[in-house]
Every structure is written in C-alpha cells, then in structure tokens.
Structure 1
C-alpha cells in the first residue's frame, strides 16, 4: 500500500507540473457580459492567443493551447469586430499574468506571486460593429515626475479631450511616468477621464531600474498594465505594441539601449503568420528605430530583423515618442528597409512637451514648447481602410493651428534686413512644399532650414534675461528643427502694417495656412 500511495502521489505531482507547463482555454463570445463562459456561449474560431513568444489560433470550438513557463503573460489578440471588457479605469482586460514565484526583490515590488492557472483560462470578447474608417487618439510621453505634474497633464491635456466623441481608442507611447512608478496609478486615473478604452506601452522611465535582466525590467509595468508586448486588431489595421528598451544595456551593463530581445521579435514573426498581407500594420514603441545625431541609439540587427519580418506588408506605419521632439522619419535601404516606398515612422510630439518647462500659460500649467519649436500636444491617427493620415493638435489652440510664423515685429521700410520670415510646420519634413506671400502678393517658395527655431530660442533667451525669476523651470536649449522654413524680406516694403501668409502641404496632400502681421518703419536719419 505504501508503494502504491507513493506512486500515486508521484503521478499526481507530475500531473500538476505537467498541467502548469501548458495553458489552454477558450476564446468565446460573452453574450451576457459576465466575463464567464456560460453553456450557451460559443467559442470563437481563428482567434490568436499568445504567451508572449508563441502564438496559437483557436480551433473550430474556440479552444487554444500554448506552452507556459514560470514568467509569461498570456493574452488574447483582439480580432476585428469584437471589443474587450474594460476595467473600471478603461484599461482593456485581455491578459493573465503567470509568475508563480513573483518578481525578484524590486523597489516598486513588481508582480506578486500568481495563483495556479485555472484548468481553462478563457478570454471573453463581445461582438461590436466596427467601422473600417475611424480615429485613434495618441499621447506621447506624459512623463510626470510628481503629483503636481500629474495635475499639469490633467489640466493641460486630458481636460481638453475629456469625453471626446467619435474616437475608437487611445494609446500612450511610453514614459507614462518619470521614474517614480508609484505614479502609474495616478496616471491611470487621469487618463480614465478621457473616457476611451486606453492602451499603453512601456518607456524607459517606466522601468524597474533595479532589475538585473531586461526580461525583468518591465515587472512593475506588467503589474499595472499587463504585457509590454502585445497586439490587437481594429478594422483593417493590425496594431503591434512593443517594449523596445534593452535594460541593462547589454554592451556594458549600464543605462539602456534601443532594441528588442529575440523572443520579442519571435512574437512579432509568429503573430504576423495569422495577419493578412493587405492589412495596415501599425507598430508602436517608445524609442525611434534611429535617432539622427544620437549615434548608436538602436541595435542595428534588431531593426534589420524587424524590417525583414515586415517585408511582405506593403502598408506599414510606426509610431514612437521618447525624443520630446516631433519628426517624420523615413527609413530606406541604408537603414535595412527594402520596401517599394520608405518605412514611415512618426516620432510624435509629447503631451509633457519639454518636460513641463517654461512659463505658465493661461491654464496655469507650463507652456512647455519642445526644443525644435513644436508646441506640446497630442495626435489623432485617422484610419481609412488600410490607409492612414495623422493630425497633430496643439494643446490649447484651434485644430487649424499647424504652422507658427516667426518674424520681427518691425523691419525697415524700403530697405534691407538680415532678419527672415520663419515658418515652423509642426507636421512637416524636408521636401514638403512651403510657400509665402506678403499682402496677398505673389506666392514664393520658402527654403528648408536645418537649424534651431528662432521663436523657441527667444523663449530661452527671455528666461535668461528676465529680471525676476519666474515660476517653473527654464526651457531646455534649442536643437535643430526638422520642419523649419525661411524666406527673406523684400527691400521695397512701404511703411505700415503688413501681412505675411504661409501655406504648406503635408505628406498626406493636405494644405494648411497661417497669417501673421508685422510692421515696416522708416529708419530715423
């Protein structure tokens, strides 16, 4: 009897170990929205589920099965035509953390030891009429370092879009907070007020800096938001969200480096096996794939493999943040992309702008213009089928405000000046047609200038020469703008008020205009 009992115990233990090496369950249509699979609720076929590396599709009954280790996040990849349940804070519920031993000792705790997986780990979806044409709201780097800056974010950005209509979902592009991971929950509460399903991704300021391995640096992020690498479908678009921060830097064990672990790129490759080639693939991550002037900011082999995985998709877009600038990056053969047209990466302007710097505006929050002259704000991703366009919205300004004109207030009448007419076209890039005219005269070309924006330089100089130190923090020093144009003043201006008008056309073929007044005066003899 003793031998049989020991054998039975051994078999039971082996069975338990085996059970935890595999996860299985159903993806089902949740007719009554109770989150449980009831007898009358059918499974959904051909829905992808992942453990963070492998991807399996459900069978005809809606059942899936995946291998599981000691540190996985199991998640469903939302198909088009369905919606995910939401938490009370509007975060999508699409995952289950599996970390039975919990996180190692970390300052911000990470993930507590998780309970054993259920015999059937099921994911609930609800059918939803989902248009192919829609809008998503994009936030770059909220990055508050304190509760005061959470308040600046809430008043300066969130209040402007609170209760917004006709937007499908929102997405923040990392640096949800600034190193203090206890602010993740106040950030969530702030974004909740927008009233949209809200997705997030991890930035370098959302990491556990005391983690000893890159795979553990996202543990506290996971505890609040779930997987740092995941995907979902809306309409004819497949979104892939990735953590592209290698920490500690594998080169020297210090700091971080832009790149991906092999398992992350394996996930992208396994995931795309089930995505039709005519879909628009939108990748979102924090660090741009290449930073001009930043040296070796991203690991080349990771970018090359990502581009190789995407090579058969003709419609692609990448969205990043991190730089606290706004740029249109176009990756071509020199960067490893071999598509018929360059790979477009929109490096989005940030909701924190220049890290909540500068004088306080009429809202009582820092104006925080970015170092390239882009005002702080947020973006709208406009989807039409498998095509896209992007609008940048300057916080506190009308949506039509897309160009800032900078001129002297007064120039010489009937004479020459070394001053120029500058136009900062916030969504522009070299190659966009930008023109100007004075007093409804003939339209003339403006010249692209890779130099700092003089308007932003004036903001910095004003701070340096002011008699009494204002509240807030000095703006950062200016950097070269990638969307600045210049024209010379004519030498035949008459005395009095004049109007300069600038028009610019963006990469999507849309035209924008802006007008500004200046004065011409005769010099005293």
Structure 2
C-alpha cells in the first residue's frame, strides 16, 4: 500500500512543476438545504436539513440542526452529500445526479486523457440542494455490467441492443453501471453518457479497470478523467431502506510490481466505508457496488487484507449484498467464515452478466448487434435489483428475449428408440448456483433431480465449433473460448420411450425461492 496520501503526491507534483500555490489544508463549510424553488442555490428563506451525511471522500460528518457541516479539505478533494432517503438530488440534462463539488484549485495533472480543469479558490460556502421526494421501501434499480465499447460502432451496439430496450422504462428508481463504462479510450465516456441518458433515469456509475488513466503514476491519480466525467469514484447514497456504497476497487499501478492492476482498496477508501457506516442504522440493507469481484479463492485477483477489513467493518450489519462485474461471466459468489466473513449467514456477491456480453463478439443478430453470449453460455443482458425494505431479489433479463427466459436447454433432437445414449440433457440456469434445485422430466415420466456440473456449456461450445469449422468467413467476430459454467445441470436421456416426439420440461428454483421453467422437444425413432 502506498503510504503517501493523494494530497501529498499532488503537492510534490505541483512543487516540481513550479506551481505557486498554497497547499495548506483548509476547512470547507456549507449547508445541505431544502431547495424549495429548485434553482440550485441556497436562498435566504430556504431551510437547512439536519442530520444529513456529507463527506470529503474519507471523513463523514452529519449536518447540524441548521443543516450546516464542516470538513477538512486539501487541494484534491471532492465534497459530496450522501443523499438521505425521502429526498432527491438534482440531475443535469444528461441524467447525472449532481451531489458533489470538485475542489482541485490547480486541476488534474497532465495526462493523456483530460482530467479536471482548475477549480480555483474554495468557495466560502459549498452547499448541496435537496428536494423532498416520495420513496417507497419497495423499489427496483436497473443494473448494467460492463458496457465496455472500444469504438463508436460499439457505442451503437450498446444503444441499439440494450438502451433501446429499456428506454422510457417505468417504475424504476435509478440506474447503476458496474464499471468498464468504456474500453480504455476515455474520450468515449461522453458518448457513453449520452447513450445511457436515453434510458431516462438518474444514472450512477462506478469506475472499472478500462476507465482508468493508465499513465497515472499513483493509484489515487488513476481516476482523474473519471472524476471529470462522473464525479467521485467513491461515494454513497440512500434510497428507501437501503444504503448504497459505490467504490473503485482497482489498485493501479499494482503495488506488488508497478505493472498492471490488482483488486483491492486503499486505506483511505476503507476508512471512508467505516466512517460512512457509523451514520447508518444496523437494520438497513447495505449494498456495495464495485467492479472487480472480491474473489475469495485467489490472492492474485484481490488483496486479501482489504477484503478482510471490509468484512470486519460489515460484521454488525446482517443485511448486505455486493454487486460486481468485470469477468464477463455470471456467478453467484458466497463468502463464509472460511473466507473471513464474520457472520453465520454467508455474504452474497452477485457477479453480474454484462451488457456487452462477450465483448460484442459472435454472429450478428437481426438488429445488427453482435450476439455476445458470454463464455459460460449466459446471453448478454442486464439485471433488476428489487428491494423490499431490507431484503432483495435479483432478476436477470436476457437482451431481446422475454423476461421468462431464464434457462437454456441443450439436448439431442433425435435418439434411437432401441438404444441408450451417453448424450445428456443440459440446463444452463442463468441466475443459478450450485445450491439451486433443478429437476426435469421427459414426456410422461417422473420428475428427476438434475446433477450439478461445472464444465463448458455445450450449447456455447457448439456455436464456437460453427466458427471453427466454417469454410467461409462469418460476419461478426469469433467468440472467446468457453469457461466452465457455474450454473449448469445435467440429466440422462431416458431409454426406450415410445417412438415419437416427447416434451422435455425443466424447472429450476433460485436462491429467492422462485421457480422458472423451460421446455424442449426430443424425438425417439426406430433405426432405418
């Protein structure tokens, strides 16, 4: 872990470049207030709002009875209000929530992609407007994993294949994208923002490893362009009875060797989480959102000490959920005591399927958008996080398919009626995990339990073989090689059913107790 603070590194940077600025720490003050006339400014008669959390990215304080706060700031801080339940923050014309003030008197250091322009002197009062808003404890948020366009053409695929499907969607509180908003070209952040604006919802974003300034000399400077486009990379807000904490969990450059990146948090980020939660009642649902999954099984993916401190901070909060993306697979990860989780009930992390799927690979669909099925056989899509008080369910929606489509079947189309076959009936239950109950029946047979397997989805492998055996170039791009699927089940093909067509029925029950079904057809024939 780098022991120098962001402020100290920026101080050194500007001293070296001859910037004649005073870097003494200052105190920021201001009001969180009821913006009765909606002009964004605190007018004389507008009342402050008490007991609202405000942060400088590390410290968190509550406003006093007059709605006033005080916080220390250096010369590289973003001040932000932590939106309380029952209020809304303004959004700009691009549907971006306006809840923060960037304080960088000298602006960002020179980087390939532009950061924040100099903000000048700290205002005498940094105020945050809120307006009352009815918020039900029952609400739904729309969640996007990895849009990750590398080109304007891919922005078009994202717009046509995902955004167009949810444009104007009703009864959704807000949207949240889980990082890799673009693919390394940070000039695409603005086209991405314009694309997602069309959904018509207040939209929150977090930073992925492809949203970073790769020429940054320190991790704390890798988010300069992100901050210019989206505001703080670490922040929090409340909605209903849920408290959302959004985090940058990419350490770059990797502190082990200065090359690449590593999953983890700086000490200041973990201090922010701890300070933030001091203001949050224990019965709230705590939803953490970050890009790289906590990956309990290998130290190479995520720094274990950071995950452990996070788990220690959360130990007294019985209702928690983590959201991540990054893998371009869909998984349900559970962290128990062996992983350092300090409660009886394991911590659930939903590692979400992506809107770009397998990086916009595969054949071209009727809409002109690549198929994009992911390496575990999960089709590209997006998720709905449904919250009821401090409980939640998650729905995955396959892009371009009915919402009921939750299981993909793979099985023989025809078998010899007189002989058995080693072929199997496979069910890829997109939101499943190894504890899911999955059963099947063929024709008039009895329901039988399917066996959980971790292997490549044969339906995905078959598509790949089409690319590898084609004698002419196919439109689109060959998908990635398959990865083992963590939500796949197998059943045997029954022997000796009467000749003719039989219906295969599969039913799967998810972790929330909801049952989904899918059907297919298999034909038994006598040999010719």
Task: Report the TM-score when normalising by structure 1.
Answer: 0.95
8 Å contact kept, 1:20–1:116: no
Matching residue within 288, 297, 308 for 2:293: 288
Aligned to 2:439: 435
In 1, Cα distance between the equivalents of 2:217 and 2:495?
Answer: 65
8 Å contact kept, 2:315–2:343: yes
Matching residue within 330, 352, 359 for 1:348: 352
- Alignment of 1:234 with 2:244, yes or no, is no
Aligned to 1:327: 331
Matching residue within 468, 474, 487 for 2:491: 487
Aligned to 2:399: 395
Aligned to 1:175: 180
Cα distance 1:502–1:270, how it changes in 2: closer, same or farther (>3 A)? same
Aligned to 1:358: 362
Aligned to 2:322: 318
Per-residue deviation at 1:335?
Answer: 1.3
| Matching of residues 146-225 of structure 1 within 5 Å | 146-225=151-230
In 2, Cα distance between the equivalents of 1:360 and 1:449?
Answer: 30
Aligned to 2:4: none
In 2, Cα distance between the equivalents of 1:18 and 1:202?
Answer: 28
| Matching of residues 362-373 of structure 1 within 5 Å | 362-373=366-377
Aligned to 1:497: 501
In 2, Cα distance between the equivalents of 1:476 and 1:67?
Answer: 49
Per-residue deviation at 1:363?
Answer: 1.4
- Alignment of 1:116 with 2:121, yes or no, is yes
Aligned to 1:408: 412
Per-residue deviation at 1:17?
Answer: 6.1
Aligned to 1:12: none
8 Å contact kept, 1:249–1:257: yes
| CA-to-aligned-CA distance 1:98-131 (integer Å, 9 cap, x gap) | 1112222100021121121210000000000110
Matching residue within 458, 464, 467 for 1:460: 464
Any unmatched runs of 5+ in structure 2?
A: 1-20
| CA-to-aligned-CA distance 1:458-497 (integer Å, 9 cap, x gap) | 1111111112111211000001000000001111122221
Matching residue within 268, 271, 274 for 2:276: 271
8 Å contact kept, 2:75–2:104: yes
In 1, Cα distance between the equivalents of 2:499 and 2:238?
Answer: 60
8 Å contact kept, 2:441–2:448: yes
Aligned to 1:6: none
In 1, Cα distance between the equivalents of 2:23 and 2:217?
Answer: 29
Any unmatched runs of 5+ in structure 1?
A: 1-15
Cα distance 1:211–1:420, how it changes in 2: closer, same or farther (>3 A)? same
8 Å contact kept, 1:415–1:493: no
Between Structure 1 and Structure 2, how many residues are aligned? 508
In 2, Cα distance between the equivalents of 1:153 and 1:187?
Answer: 9
In 1, Cα distance between the equivalents of 2:390 and 2:149?
Answer: 34
8 Å contact kept, 2:353–2:380: yes
Q: List structure 1 segments (4+ residues) > 2 angstroms apart after TM superposition.
A: 16-20
8 Å contact kept, 1:325–1:349: yes
In 2, Cα distance between the equivalents of 1:189 and 1:81?
Answer: 28
8 Å contact kept, 1:318–1:345: yes
8 Å contact kept, 1:156–1:363: yes
